[in-house]
Amino acid sequence: MLLSLPALHLQTSEHHPLFQLPHGRLGPWCSPSGSPAPLSCETGCGEGSWILVCRLLVPTQVSLLSMEEDIDTRKINNSFLRDHSYATEADIISTVEFNHTGELLATGDKGGRVVIFQREQESKNQVHRRGEYNVYSTFQSHEPEFDYLKSLEIEEKINKIRWLPQQNAAYFLLSTNDKTVKLWKVSERDKRPEGYNLKDEEGRLRDPATITTLRVPVLRPMDLMVEATPRRVFANAHTYHINSISVNSDYETYMSADDLRINLWNFEITNQSFNIVDIKPANMEELTEVITAAEFHPHHCNTFVYSSSKGTIRLCDMRASALCDRHTKFFEEPEDPSNRSFFSEIISSISDVKFSHSGRYIMTRDYLTVKVWDLNMENRPIETYQVHDYLRSKLCSLYENDCIFDKFECVWNGSDSVIMTGSYNNFFRMFDRNTKRDVTLEASRENSKPRAILKPRKVCVGGKRRKDEISVDSLDFSKKILHTAWHPSENIIAVAATNNLYIFQDKVN
């Protein structure tokens, strides 16, 4: 359960003078005159400062949250027997996603739960509170299952959440674990009908013979209740583990991708899906490559891309054929012979692929870099950003402890001018594509007070370690930021660090 702890929020009575940088103090990328660079989506977010809005902790007790939801209340209550002093593994956040307006922020965790946060509405009295997110709804999306045929457990961990664009008062999202995709409807109820005379006080149906009057119930206001109901369950279509889901721009179909296949679904039909990509070899012995991520083009409903473990991206057009085994475009960067090692293939494996909002570019994340590709140029990316190149000399150790297989995600900001991805030691990195500046920030409890400006971090690579720098050997590889999200139009980011969700925003004057 995610709960916004009051202690972490800015109290309304407090007035922090931090909105203005003190004179003479230069941020690391201020213009030479000393004034802070303008902060707006258009000019990019590598400049300016980031402040912590709130940190949302996953508490291990359940009782604090209002439990008006009908769904799975009992199951959630039964899971209360958790140690309060540390977060359990089930609380580890496994996916983060803003909806299309940015009003809602959904997280999924390893325990199969989805928690939705809603942005605090702006009000004249509490202008400071704008930008904070509070819990809106919580529900158990997936349960652990057992595959009897293979004698294997199916984890309930939520791999991905994708929102549907809002078309009426209710919100819809897709959530998936390894095998099953579910469509959830999240709706509000603030009225209830009262005045039925068909039941007695205890709720038992009255004998119809005793009812002598016709009473029309009236709607009376009630406390706001948010309920989540599963509207569709798309099951039994994937032999391998689902790694991606993507809603099509036609809002009628979506795709789900596992290691070897991609299926196309219609939202209304749960017992059928079309297989549009199948890279399973006839002989499993010949398997050398798997699908790692897939996404639909934001505007062209016939186009999608998928990435592979060999560092390639294929763009497919569904108009070409029913089974898109033959790509329309093939993106691959030639290997750098000077950097060749036994780990070359592993670190080239793409862990995430994202279209830019414009649809013109795709961004890919492999183990050490983020690359931006122009859809019109297949032979190499147009930009390459080093996320943590200092790890290149540590690849053997990272292979030994399996960190080399970590799947980092990457995100665009609303204007496609800044890209962000996570790293180790709770660091995350932002790259401004226009100014070519980059910054490393840390999402940690120790270093972040509410509304405090995040201090840029630096990793020292050999040589003398300056003050405030951290050496490569001191990095904590168990603290990894795999999942981040960027508000679709504003400079608000959500960063998941184990069981903590940090929300940062651009400092506003």
Q: Is 341 exposed, middle or buried (0-12, 13-18, 19+ CB in 10 A)?
A: exposed
CA distance 164 to 253: 10
- Tell me the one-letter amino acid at 70: D
* Least distance (Å) between residue 67 CB and other proteins: 30
* Least distance (Å) between residue 220 CB and other proteins: 49
Q: Can you read off the two tokens belonging to residue 94?
A: 């496994």
- Beta carbon nearer to other proteins, 201 or 402: 402
Q: Which of 70, 108, 64 is nearest to 90 (CA)?
A: 108
Helix ranges restricted to H, 139-194: none
User: What DSSP assignment string belongs to 360-406?
Assistant: SEEEEE-SSEEEEEETT--SS-SEEEES-GGGGGGHHHHHHTTGGG-
- Beta carbon nearer to other proteins, 5 or 396: 396
* Least distance (Å) between residue 111 CB and other proteins: 15
CA distance 111 to 261: 26
Q: Can you read off the two tokens belonging to residue 23?
A: 């004179």
* Least distance (Å) between residue 24 CB and other proteins: 44
* 335-340 contact pairs (CB < 8 A, 24+): 339/392
- Beta carbon nearer to other proteins, 88 or 266: 88
* Least distance (Å) between residue 260 CB and other proteins: 8
- Beta carbon nearer to other proteins, 89 or 153: 153
- Beta carbon nearer to other proteins, 84 or 150: 150
| Dihedral angle sign, alpha carbons of residues 125, 129, 131, 133 | negative
- Give the gyration radius of the chain's Cα atoms: 25
- Beta carbon nearer to other proteins, 12 or 393: 393
- Beta carbon nearer to other proteins, 395 or 439: 395
| Dihedral angle sign, alpha carbons of residues 60, 66, 69, 70 | positive
- Tell me the one-letter amino acid at 73: T
- Beta carbon nearer to other proteins, 291 or 316: 291
| Dihedral angle sign, alpha carbons of residues 119, 486, 506, 468 | positive
In 12-102, the DSSP E strands lie at: 50-57, 93-98
* Least distance (Å) between residue 4 CB and other proteins: 32
- Beta carbon nearer to other proteins, 11 or 341: 341
- Beta carbon nearer to other proteins, 321 or 397: 397
* Least distance (Å) between residue 89 CB and other proteins: 13
Are the CB atoms for 211 and 199 separated by under 8 Å? no
Tell me which residue has tokens 């309920």: 227
* Least distance (Å) between residue 158 CB and other proteins: 15
* Least distance (Å) between residue 336 CB and other proteins: 12
* Least distance (Å) between residue 497 CB and other proteins: 22
Give the CA count within 13 Å in the CB-facing half-sphere of 91: 24
Tell me which residue has tokens 């709130």: 54
Three-class secondary structure of residue 473 per DSSP = helix
- Beta carbon nearer to other proteins, 283 or 376: 283
Residues that bind other proteins (CB under 8 A): 150-155, 178, 240-241, 259-260, 283-290, 292, 309, 340-343, 345-346, 349, 392-397, 399-400, 402, 405
How many CB atoms sit inside 10 A of residue 130's CB?
14
- Beta carbon nearer to other proteins, 268 or 285: 285
* Least distance (Å) between residue 382 CB and other proteins: 27
- Tell me the one-letter amino acid at 156: E
CA distance 449 to 267: 43
Are the CB atoms for 314 and 326 separated by under 8 Å? no
Tell me which residue has tokens 């962000």: 420
Q: Which of 348, 284, 282, 264 is nearest to 310 (CA)?
A: 348
* Least distance (Å) between residue 309 CB and other proteins: 5
